[in-house]
Structure 1
Amino acid sequence: MWNKIAIFIIKNRLRLILLLAVLTAFMAYQAKDVEMSYDFANVVSPDDPDMEYFQRFKQTFGEDGNVLVVGMQDKQVYQLHNFQELNKLTKDLKQVEGVKAVIALPNLVQVVKDTAERKFITQNIFEPFPQTQQQLDEHLKIVRNQGFYDGQIINDKTGATLLAVTMDPAYLNSARRTEVMDNILVHTNAFSKDTGVQLHYAGLPFVRSVMTTKVAGEMKLFLVLALIVTAVSLFLFFRSFFAVLIPIVVISVVVIWVLGIISLFGYKISLLTGLIPSIIVVIGIPNSTYLLARYHLDYRRHGNKILALTRVISKIGLVNLVNNTTTAIGFIVFTFTHIAILYEFGVVAGINIFVTFFISMILVPAMFSYLPPPTERQLRHLDAKPLNKLLEFFDYIVHCKRHLVYFFLTIIMALSFYGIYKVKTVSYMVDDLPEESSVNADLAFFEQHFNGVMPLEVIVDTGSKQGVMRLPNLRKLEELEDYLRTQPILSAPISVVGLVKTATQAFYEGDPNSYRLPDNTERNFIFSYLAKQDEGANQKLLRSFVDSTGQRARISLKVADVGSRELDTLLLKKIKPQLAEIYGGEGVRLEEVGNSMRFIREDTGSETSVSLTGTTLLFIKGNEYLINNLRSSLLLAFVLVTITIALLFKSIRVVVISLIPNMIPLLIAGGLMGFFNIPLKPSTALIFSIALGIAIDDSIHFLAKYRHELQRNGFNISRAITSSLEEAGTSMIYTSVILFFGFVIFAFSEFGGTKALGVLMSVSLLIALFTNLIILPTLLMSFDSGKYERDPYALIEQIDEAYFEEDDEELDLAQLSLKMNQEEPDNREVQRV
């Protein structure tokens, strides 16, 4: 079959090149519409109870992650001129398209009592705007007397203050986000320049904007670096300009296909899919490397360029197809996770690995058929003299020092398992940004002065309409808030309790000591004032914390980005036990579903439920969900690779022997994570199934050569292994070096996860090279009998016959007529090949 395919490709090479050109132009046209992802992916299943509750929360109270905060700590802010500039900044930001509201010191309001109308009204604290420093200081004193704002807009202890900019969700999840952020930064930068006050930025809109910009920049950077690294590696190996140019052309075409397919499928460039073009460059080059090495080997044998190119297709086609299949397995397994970002990553990478195979099988032979044949200088790499000494050393170890191999392997495995035991699973909201990033520095500012900015919500369902405003329920809410204030990683809570306390303070003419809940005597008076509220600012603010039925109350907090482990400790060992103490008790049954707790009174059947929700909790849970699915993906990849090897060799012994050298690098990588304190998170868990799919290629390549050499050497295992190391070792080293340096480039990423992926992947593949050149032949020496029966149905037999057949088999010469190039020795215009 492969002979027919080879003849078809060579005979129709021009037509195929033109067809690929048309299809690539179409993909380039599609690629122009590819978009960036401007949102953190929802990776938690839509059927998950916590996700379902979060969606209901957003329908009732709106988005919780659409606030950008701008903080400052500078006494100069409270000087009249600078405060005037802050007032101007507040007004300017409100005019920015995509900004819904701005809350800052200059536009804060206070609640006052209208005795005539017997209701509460709001007044802007800074109207009329102060004209002297003394007037400003008096107004600032009023702000500090408002308990509602303490820890929210101003930290009276440190003097820090912030602006809270609420953005329209329609802008957050589109390309317009960047324009909104740029316009905001124009005004804030002007304020800093005019006043000399340093500003700090945080909040999910800002973090997402920064990450999106960096993803786009790094995608281009890594693509260029991958092309440079692979080009240099190819030149060092082949010493030929065209041996570099043509594989780069092949990979460039595939990159266009990657972007085109992303656009065609309606996907967007995310932190994961943004890595695919660079990854495809790295893992796609071995296709061309195998083709070029075989082309040079065949040409040196008989000196006929067209015959050599035809035989390249017929002999390497199946080998490359098997290699691409095992590599694709490492990515395709992600499509079984039912998580959008992993599914898209698996689909796009899996498809384009096979696209790389087909494009390289067409373009490399076709384009080289129009070029001069390789020179003697370009063929010198076939001798691989610099590598001979290394391979001879490996052969010596395998034959004479097997006991040392097993001894050191035992020690390394013991250390690896110990390191794996130390690995921790930790996820952070800004996990991928470097520690020295300005984003992390700004987050530290807000955690120091406001205990964090990541949203966390507590929803209390009283079980009855208008139940929130009942004094016993308000007191329980207050008790919960008082406890939450004691947690150092939580900001001051804000809820209806604060509004009622503010109303009590207003009822007593703004007395700071009256910022409290009313007692039973005061309740009717104060609530009668509240009942007369119109749809003004107070009523809108109330609706932000109480649903339209008055049954559910919202406590809104901000939490420091302390990581999933500490956050879990806070929820499970502190907040939930406190909730049980407040709402539970004798005669109350507790039921828990996810982060929701239901307290049911046994005597009346009435119930109160408390739910913890918010973007932060869903993001952390999503990362844990991702890690669990990636573990399943690794298991699935292991099973699929095992099946592939079983189909190839039809031997249980070979399956076991081949898997051991490829599991060792993964165990060592896990051990290194433990020793170097690299946490298990989505970006690091990702490498294991991918590395397994790529590394197994070397095992298949070596074992196929080993079986062939067994036959040639009369089933003498020792001589077969020596010959296999000499002949297969060189190409294994070439491809592994390319893969190593290709993945090392990701170590230069600003994203911690991508950096860890690059380091661990490159180390894993380098270790896999040595395990396949040392441990695999050592295991064969120890446990293989050297005898096997040829199975005509085993796929490996076809690889043996195709790839390792040394005698020139006869092609159907009558099927192929080609015009000879000027460089052909006989200069005949037409030669039958």
Structure 2
Amino acid sequence: MKYRLTLVILIGVITVFMGYHARKAEMSYDFAKTVPMDDPDMINFMEFKSLFGEDGNLIAIGVKDSSLYDVHNFELFRRLSDSIKTFTGVNEVYSLPQIQRFEKDTAERKFNLVPIFRNEITNQAEMDSLIQLAFDQKFYSGRLLNESNGATLMLISIDKDVLNSERRIGLTEKIVAAGDFFEANSGITVHYAGLPFVRSVIASKVKREMEMFLILSVLVTAIILFLFFRTWDAVVFPMVIIGVVVVWVLGSLVLFGYKITMLTGLIPPVIVVIGIPNSVYLLNKYHQEYELHGNKVMAVSRVVRKIGVVTLITNFTTAIGFLVLATTEIVILREFGIVAGLNIMATFIVSIILIPAVFLWLPAPNTQQLKHLKFKPLDVVLSALDKWIYSHRKTVYLITGLLVALAALGMTRLRAVAFMVDDIPEKSEIRTDLEFFEANFNGIMPLEMVVDTGERRGVLELKNLNKIEDLEEFLHSQKDISLPVSLVSFVKASKQAFYNNNPDRYSLPSSRERSFILRYMRNQSDSTGLFNSFVDSTLQVMRVSMQVADIGSEKMDSLIEEVIRPEVDSLVAGTDLKISITGTTPLFIRGNKFLIQNLRFSLILAFILIAVIMGVLFGNLKMILISMLPNIIPLLITAGIMGFFGIPLKPSTALIFSIVFGISVDDSIHFLAKYRQELFLNRFSVPITVSKTLRETGASMIYTSVILFAGFVIFAWSDFGGTIALGILTSITLMIAMFTNLILLPSLLLTFDDGRRDPQEHPLIEEYDDGFYQDLENENSNGNGSVELPENKNQTI
């Protein structure tokens, strides 16, 4: 209070500094790394990329319409391929109009790659002939072409530097615009898929949603503040505080070297929602104090002394729910936890400086501004709760027990499942397009195998090729896996070319045919680089590439570990072959397991840390248990709801528990801090103390819970499934926590706390306010040392 001008100026300077850096905040376009770099699976994946390049850099365009094979539409499709190939950031385009076939050159004893569709096609008869020739090239069947229904793919390889930069969004938009032009002129529906495409869409939506939710959260909380307090200053200045902290959030992202991800993009609106309760408690207490004695300076002073430390502690417990994520090995979680946790503490600092400073400068509150203290509907609710707690405590315990039992039953149905495109809405166009690729080409998500033959030029050994062919046939027999492509495919295509492109000859050469067919291949030049992307320079290691459907982490893990891996182990038994399964899809499964494990550990750590804080604050084991129970039960009920409604446990939903626990325990701390204070004032009478505490803190608890509910529920309007789940489940859990803290917590105190305390020993929660009890006794005393009691309590002290 003494140095408020200096402190306000200091906050202004820091905000300008943070605002300067906030201008440089950038979106993240990198693939979210959820597996530590020293994990064996990640090491294998990085080795794969060093040998063969990116596996998740393909955008797919799919069409399925017989009119594509009309001359006019086919030429439009050719132009689409040619135009996309000229886009900056596109490495290569593989599509039906560009496909080539091997042609035997007997003079040079090699195969030449010859385009099937060389020139502009002039008539339908020529078109039909060439299409048949294309379908005869078995190398492309099941990969670029679906023989059974005529569906075809265009695969667009994206440059790595563009893939991991903002330019990816612009490139994706250009590809879609080109596809739209083709669709408009041909009448053929175009479908899009591929990880670069999905990630580009997500990155664009994250940026838009961060702005939208920030605006919505400000509007919603401002409206609720006005409805509660009915005065402009109680709305404007809390919003100023939040505005300052949002600038600090963006500035700290830049200072830490972080980028805006799907998680860190949620921090500004979350800060708005979590930060407002600080102002609610401070303003409510300020108005209560001023109404009590009419002295503005004394009211502000007592706000700082009486609930300043409590607000510090509640902010710290909320921050713990986020900061525990900093202990994880997952980069995106660690960044989210650090930035959110530190800025929640910054919210306390800004609040505890600006609220007292501003309201010292403003005129004293008038009658209109204090009107909310006598809000009759709220008084009716709190009175009803007070009576219910005293009269129906057994019913409270019975209902709580039933809810916990139901929650336990629901938890048995809880499953941990995540999808590669988890955050895309079920009815979105992306989902529809993904279903098209899964129906016609068994999926589009990358799955890779690396085969090490153990010897130089070992990939050309016929015994090894036969083994890999057996593996590929097994893989293709699985309904969710596309036809693999590898060196085996090239060798089969070479044999077909050797026999004048007879489709029936698309097979591996026999031992008799091997020498002269492979002689042709040795003289082969690869101007496209396609061949080299499937074997290493020593011809010892080869790649088997395929796509899979997005069947979810649980089924995918089962497919890889229980179906594919046993077959691989059986196949290589007794040979020198070593086959490893890798790629973006298996890494995603591994990452999902890591996320769940890390979040489980974070939740346990949050429990322990907050329990320790409760122990330090109240110095009483019984109070620790009483304070924790009302905040654990809402988490159990939410887990049960997830089980009953089939909401899977995945990173976005697992994240809820540690965050909500840190937030919900704030109400317990406020309630118990006031309870401890009132206990001494009321001569350790638990019933009177509980009633007084409920009536004084209950209003603020309801106010803040409503703000938190409304603030988080706005995330239900997200386009991302994870954000929707985060918003709805967090809102539900916080509302349940409000009721448990307003009903169950007082009930537990009445049942298990005898009120006996040593007047000479005060735990940390009481030591911050020397002389506080004496002051209040003087204020509430009738002059002879006895304390005036509420009219409804027939007790004398």
Q: 1:766 is matched with which residue: 735, 744, 759?
A: 735
- Corresponding residue for 1:574? 563
- Corresponding residue for 2:3? 8
Contact 1:64–1:455 (Cα < 8 Å) also in 2: yes
Give secondary structure in 2 for the equivalent of 1:554.
strand
Deviation at 1:458, TM superposition (A): 1.1
What does 1:195-344 correspond to in 2, within 5 Å? 195-344=186-335
Give secondary structure in 2 for the equivalent of 1:147.
coil
- Corresponding residue for 1:138? 129
Contact 1:704–1:800 (Cα < 8 Å) also in 2: no
> 2:248 and 2:716 mapped to 1: Cα distance?
26
> 1:335 and 1:791 mapped to 2: Cα distance?
40
Aligned in 2, Cα 1:737/1:800: closer, same or farther, shift over 3 Å?
A: farther
> 2:606 and 2:771 mapped to 1: Cα distance?
27
Structure 1 counterpart of 2:603, one-letter code: L
- Corresponding residue for 2:106? 115
> 2:769 and 2:314 mapped to 1: Cα distance?
15
> 1:524 and 1:76 mapped to 2: Cα distance?
44
Give secondary structure in 1 for the equivalent of 2:562.
helix
> 1:526 and 1:791 mapped to 2: Cα distance?
97
Q: 1:541 is matched with which residue: 489, 505, 530?
A: 530
Q: 1:189 is matched with which residue: 180, 183, 190?
A: 180
- Corresponding residue for 1:710? 679
- Corresponding residue for 2:613? 644
- Corresponding residue for 1:354? 345
Contact 1:467–1:473 (Cα < 8 Å) also in 2: yes
When structure 1 is superposed on structure 2, of 446-455 and 527-536 the one drifting more is: 527-536
Residue 751 (structure 1) aligned with residue 720 (structure 2): yes
Deviation at 1:809, TM superposition (A): 10
Q: 1:403 is matched with which residue: 394, 397, 401?
A: 394
Give secondary structure in 1 for the equivalent of 2:695.
helix
Residue 425 (structure 1) aligned with residue 416 (structure 2): yes
Residue 158 (structure 1) aligned with residue 149 (structure 2): yes
Q: 2:636 is matched with which residue: 667, 686, 703?
A: 667
What does 1:75-90 correspond to in 2, within 5 Å? 75-90=66-81
Deviation at 1:19, TM superposition (A): 2.5
Partner deviation per Cα, 1:756-788 (whole Å, 9 max, x = no partner): 111111111111111111111111121112112
What does 1:411-560 correspond to in 2, within 5 Å? 411-537=402-528, 540-560=529-549
Contact 1:44–1:621 (Cα < 8 Å) also in 2: yes
> 1:386 and 1:79 mapped to 2: Cα distance?
73
Structure 1 counterpart of 2:659, one-letter code: I
Deviation at 1:407, TM superposition (A): 1.4
Contact 2:677–2:766 (Cα < 8 Å) also in 1: no
Give secondary structure in 1 for the equivalent of 2:139.
helix
What does 1:30-109 correspond to in 2, within 5 Å? 30-109=21-100
Structure 2 counterpart of 1:718, one-letter code: P
Structure 2 counterpart of 1:91, one-letter code: D
Please report the TM-score for the alignment, with normalisation by the length of structure 1: 0.92
When structure 1 is superposed on structure 2, of 397-406 and 229-238 the one drifting more is: 397-406
> 1:134 and 1:515 mapped to 2: Cα distance?
26
Contact 1:192–1:198 (Cα < 8 Å) also in 2: yes
When structure 1 is superposed on structure 2, of 794-803 and 570-579 the one drifting more is: 794-803
Structure 1 counterpart of 2:530, one-letter code: L
Aligned in 2, Cα 1:735/1:805: closer, same or farther, shift over 3 Å?
A: farther
What does 1:768-807 correspond to in 2, within 5 Å? 768-790=737-759, 792=761, 794-798=763-767, 807=776
- Corresponding residue for 2:13? 22
Contact 1:333–1:636 (Cα < 8 Å) also in 2: yes
Deviation at 1:791, TM superposition (A): 6.1
- Corresponding residue for 1:562? 551
- Corresponding residue for 1:376? 367
Deviation at 1:304, TM superposition (A): 2.9
Deviation at 1:620, TM superposition (A): 2.0
Deviation at 1:808, TM superposition (A): 10
> 1:582 and 1:652 mapped to 2: Cα distance?
60
When structure 1 is superposed on structure 2, of 412-421 and 312-321 the one drifting more is: 312-321
Partner deviation per Cα, 1:700-750 (whole Å, 9 max, x = no partner): 111122222222222221122111111121111111111111111111111
Structure 2 counterpart of 1:693, one-letter code: G
Partner deviation per Cα, 1:189-239 (whole Å, 9 max, x = no partner): 211111111110000110000000111111111111110111011111111
Give secondary structure in 1 for the equivalent of 2:593.
helix
Q: Which runs of 5+ in 2 are unaligned?
A: 780-797
Partner deviation per Cα, 1:237-257 (whole Å, 9 max, x = no partner): 111011101101110111111
> 1:716 and 1:317 mapped to 2: Cα distance?
26
> 1:382 and 1:93 mapped to 2: Cα distance?
66
Give secondary structure in 2 for the equivalent of 1:148.
coil
When structure 1 is superposed on structure 2, of 700-709 and 268-277 the one drifting more is: 700-709
Deviation at 1:792, TM superposition (A): 4.6
- Corresponding residue for 2:788? none
Contact 1:114–1:121 (Cα < 8 Å) also in 2: yes
Contact 1:791–1:797 (Cα < 8 Å) also in 2: no
Give the RMSD, CA atoms, in angstroms.
1.6
- Corresponding residue for 1:693? 662
- Corresponding residue for 1:633? 602
> 1:739 and 1:804 mapped to 2: Cα distance?
32
Deviation at 1:266, TM superposition (A): 1.0
Structure 2 counterpart of 1:160, one-letter code: A
Partner deviation per Cα, 1:23-54 (whole Å, 9 max, x = no partner): 21221111111000112211101111110000
> 1:494 and 1:159 mapped to 2: Cα distance?
20
- Corresponding residue for 2:584? 615
Structure 2 counterpart of 1:563, one-letter code: G
Q: 2:171 is matched with which residue: 161, 166, 180?
A: 180
> 2:14 and 2:675 mapped to 1: Cα distance?
40
Partner deviation per Cα, 1:323-377 (whole Å, 9 max, x = no partner): 1111111000000012211111111011101111111112222222332222102
Contact 2:310–2:669 (Cα < 8 Å) also in 1: no
Structure 2 counterpart of 1:687, one-letter code: I
Partner deviation per Cα, 1:628-682 (whole Å, 9 max, x = no partner): 1000000000000000000001111110111111100000010000011100000
Partner deviation per Cα, 1:242-298 (whole Å, 9 max, x = no partner): 110110111011111111111111101101000000000000001111111122122
Deviation at 1:411, TM superposition (A): 1.1
Give the length in aligned residue pairs.
Answer: 779
Give secondary structure in 2 for the equivalent of 1:787.
coil
Q: Which runs of 5+ in 1 are unaligned?
A: 1-5, 589-600, 602-606, 811-833
Partner deviation per Cα, 1:131-166 (whole Å, 9 max, x = no partner): 211111111111100110001111111111111000
Deviation at 1:64, TM superposition (A): 0.3
